[in-house]
Amino acid sequence: MKLDCWRTEPHVPLRCLRHSFLQTFLICLLLVPGLLECKQVMADQPIVLRLPMPTAGPNSLDPVRGSSQYDNIACGYVYESLLEYEYLKRPFELKPCLLESMPEVSEDGKTFRFKLREDIYFHDDPCFPDGKGRRLVTDDVFYSLKRMADNGNQPKAWWLMKDTIVGFDDYREQQNAAEDFDYDAPVEGMVKISDYEFEIVLAQPFYRFIYTLAMFQTAVLPHEAVDYYKEKFSKHPVGTGPFLMQRWDFGAKLVFVRNPSYRTMLYPADPGLNKDGSAPYTGYKEDVELGFYKDAGKRLPLADKVILTMFAENQPMWLKFLNRELDYSRVPAENFPQAFIKRRQKLRQSFKDMGIRAVPLPLLDFIYNGFNMEDPVFGGYDDKSKWLRQAISLTYDLEEINQAHYQGINLIYDGPIPNGMDGHPEGHQVANNYRGPNIPRAKKLLAKAGYPDGKGLPELVFYTSRQPASVEMAMMSKRNMAKIGVKMDVRSVDFATLSENLRKKTCPFFGLAWGSDYPDAENNLQLFYGPFKSPMSNNFNYDRAEYNELYEKVRVMQPSPERSAMYAKMRDMIIEDVPVIGAMARTRFYLIHSRLKNFKPEETFSNWPKYLTVQEP
C-alpha cells in the first residue's frame, strides 16, 4: 500500500524514492540477523503457566486416597483415566483417553468391552528398570481398580465400585480378611482378553458407570511405583499424563513439567457450524471469537511448565493476580465489588483496560453444614434428635450469609440436589422445610427435644476452613444459634486436618461444599447412603434403611418419571431428618489475563491444563 501511495505523489522526485528505498533496504539487511536471533530466543523460552490453587494444597496425589476438587486438579496433571471429557463441548461429552475408541456395550448394558491404545507409556521414573517407563497394559487397569478395594490404601472412592462389578465386592472382602492383599487374585467381572483388550461385567446396568471411567479416582497407574515408593507414593505420582511432577513444596506450590514421552495428542480441530447453520455445541461461537481453535492440530501439552501456587487465604491470591503473577484467579466474594458492577454483574472498565476478561461459571454446587449422625447428642434418628437438628437449622439465615459473603449471587435451595438436575425442587424450595431464620419455631422444637432455651445441651463443636470468610460465616451462625440458647465452638483448621477428622468421624458439625462429579443427582444422593459412611464419601454417616433401599434402586435406573419421583422422595427424607443444613450454589467468577490462551473454566473435570498456553501481548 505504501509503494502505491508513493507513486501517486507527483511532487516527490523519482530519484528520491529510489534513494529512500535503497536506504531502507540496506537498514533491513543490517537488522534482520538481530531480529531473527531475537525471535529465536523468544521461541526458545519455555511456556510457563502460573496458576492458583485456592487451598493449602491437595491431601494426596494417590488417586484412590483423593476425594476433593483439589486432589482432582493436582492428579489431573500426571494421571489419566480410560475416558475424559471433551474440553470445549457443552453439555459435557465423554471421549476416549487411554482407549482407542469408546467402549462397546452389550444390549443388556452389563458388559463393557475396551481396547487400549498401544502407544501409552508410564512416566520415566526410578521405579522402572533403567528409569524408563514401560507400556500400559490391561493388567495395569485391573491393578488400579483393585487398589480401590484395598483398605490398606485408605481408599475414599470405594463407593464408585461397591455392588458394581461382578465379584468385586467378594474379592474386596476376601482380600482384606487375608494376611496379604493379593492383587493377582481374579475378579469374575474383570476379564482379560489380551494385553490391550478386556471386558468389565457389571452386576446391574448402572447408568453412572460410564462417568466413573472419567473420574480421577479410576486413573491408571503402575504397581512398580507403589512397590518402590510404598507409603511415600502419595507424594511421588507416576502416571501416563501430559506432565511430570518436578517439585512439591507442601503448603506452598506444586511444579509440573512437560512429559517428554507423552504420546501424540492434538489440540481439537474446529468442528465448524452444522449444515443447517446451527452451532455444534453450546458456547461454540464465543469459543471461536476467543480464538480457542487457533492452536488446532498442535501437539499437547502446549505448555512446558506449570507452577501451581497454593493459597490458604484468598487475599494473597487476589493480590498476586492483580500484580500479574498469576494467569487467572477466582474472584473472592469480598473483592467482587472491586471487579464488578454488582447490580449488572459486569466487569468494570478498569479491569477490561488491563486486558482482563471475566467468565461466570454456575457450579453444580452443594454448600452445606453437616452433622455427624453418629454423634451421641446431635446425631441419631429418634424424634428428640431430629427436633434438635431442625431447631438448629431454623436459626440459620442463609440469605444473610449470601449477602454478606457472596454478594447475594448464590442460589439458595432446599435439599442436596443442585439446580439443573433431576430432583431439584421446583422454585428451589419444598413446602415442608426447616429453612431459617424462624427463631420462635426453633425455640419450640428445641424445647420439644428436651433442651428449653438450650439448658442441658452440650456445646456444639463446629469444624470449618481456615479461610477468614468461612470463619466469619461460622460466627454469624454462632450468633444466631445463641438466640435459642445453643452454644457453638468454632474450630478453624486447614483442609487436610478437616478431611482427616471427617475420616475418623470426630467432627460433630462441619462446613463443606460438594461439587458434583457428573451431571446426575445420584452423585449427590450417594453422599447419604449408609454403606458409604466415613472414611468413604458419606461424611454425615447417615444410615437410614428406607433411604438405602431407595438408593440401591435408583443407582441402576435409567432416567424416567419413576426415578424422578424416587429422587424427590429421597430429597425430602434428607430435608426432614436434617443431617445437613443448606444448601447454596455458587456462580464462580473467573478473571483471566489476556496472555493466557484457550482457558475455558470448568470444575467438574480437570484435564484442561494440557490445552493452555501463554502468549505475551
What are the residue ranges spanned by the domains of the chain?
Answer: 47-79+241-265+300-360+591-617, 81-221, 365-585
For the chain, percent of residues with pLDDT exceeding 70: 93
Per the listing, cell 490462551 goes with: 597
Q: Is the pLDDT of residue 47 over 80?
A: yes
Q: How far apart are CA 473 and CA 462, in angstroms?
A: 12
φ, ψ dihedrals at 224, nearest 5°: -60, -40
Q: Grid coordinates representing 361?
A: 461459571
pTM of the model: 0.78
Residue 171: its pLDDT value, please? 98
Q: Mean pLDDT throughout 555-573?
A: 94
The candidate with the shortest Cα–Cα distance to 160, out of 218, 203, 114, is 218
Q: Mean pLDDT throughout 86-97?
A: 94
* Between residues 119 and 72, the one the model is more confident about: 119
Residue 33: its pLDDT value, please? 52
Q: Phi-psi category of 90—alpha, beta or left, where left has phi over 0 and alpha has psi -120 to 50? A: beta
Reduced to 3 states, what is the DSSP secondary structure of residue 346?
Answer: strand
- pLDDT digits 0-9 by tens, 400-438: 999 888 888 899 999 999 998 999 999 999 999 999 999
299, β-bridge pairs: 266
pLDDT band of residue 32 (cuts 50, 70, 90) is: low
Ranges of beta strands (E only) in 180-231 are 190-192, 197-201
Reduced to 3 states, what is the DSSP secondary structure of residue 504?
Answer: coil
Q: Phi-psi category of 327—alpha, beta or left, where left has phi over 0 and alpha has psi -120 to 50? A: alpha
Q: Grid coordinates representing 348?
A: 468494570
Q: How far apart are CA 359 and CA 588, in angstroms?
A: 8
Q: How far apart are CA 414 and CA 369, in angstroms?
A: 13
* Terminal-residue alpha carbon distance, the chain: 26
* Between residues 497 and 134, the one the model is more confident about: 134
pLDDT band of residue 7 (cuts 50, 70, 90) is: very low
What is the CATH code for 81-221?
Answer: 3.90.76.10
Residue 494: its pLDDT value, please? 85
Q: Which of 9-13, 100-104, 418-422, 430-434 has the lowest average pLDDT? A: 9-13
Q: How far apart are CA 540 and CA 369, in angstroms?
A: 10
- pLDDT digits 0-9 by tens, 268-295: 999 999 999 999 999 999 999 999 999 9
Q: Mean pLDDT throughout 314-342?
A: 94
DSSP output for 152-171: GG--S-GGGTTTTBTTHHHH
Distances (CA, A) of 315 to 149, 320, 338, 475: 40, 9, 13, 20
pLDDT band of residue 177 (cuts 50, 70, 90) is: very high
Reduced to 3 states, what is the DSSP secondary structure of residue 50?
Answer: strand
Q: Grid coordinates representing 64?
A: 484412590
Q: How far apart are CA 329 and CA 290, in angstroms?
A: 18
What lies within 8 Å, CB to CB, of 385 at 6+ separation is 378, 379, 449
What is the CATH code for 47-79+241-265+300-360+591-617?
Answer: 3.40.190.10
Burial of 157 (0-12, 13-18, 19+ CB in 10 A): buried
Q: Grid coordinates representing 13?
A: 522526485
pLDDT band of residue 27 (cuts 50, 70, 90) is: very low
Q: Taking the CB of residue 235, how many other CB atoms lie within 10 A of it?
A: 13
- pLDDT digits 0-9 by tens, 365-377: 999 999 999 999 9
Q: How far apart are CA 366 and CA 516, in angstroms?
A: 8
What is the CATH code for 365-585?
Answer: 3.10.105.10
φ, ψ dihedrals at 522, nearest 5°: -55, -30
Q: In one letter, which amino acid is 391?
A: A
pLDDT band of residue 195 (cuts 50, 70, 90) is: very high
Q: How far apart are CA 248 and CA 30, in angstroms?
A: 47
Distances (CA, A) of 441 to 18, 378, 391, 430, 437: 94, 19, 7, 17, 9
C-alpha 249: how far from chain center: 22
State the helix-helix crossing angle for 383-395 and 439-448, rounded to 10 degrees.
160
Burial of 371 (0-12, 13-18, 19+ CB in 10 A): buried
Q: How far apart are CA 414 and CA 389, in angstroms?
A: 15
Q: How far apart are CA 14 and CA 241, in angstroms?
A: 64
Q: Phi-psi category of 277—alpha, beta or left, where left has phi over 0 and alpha has psi -120 to 50? A: left
DSSP output for 437-468: --HHHHHHHHHHTT-GGGTTPPPEEEEEESSH
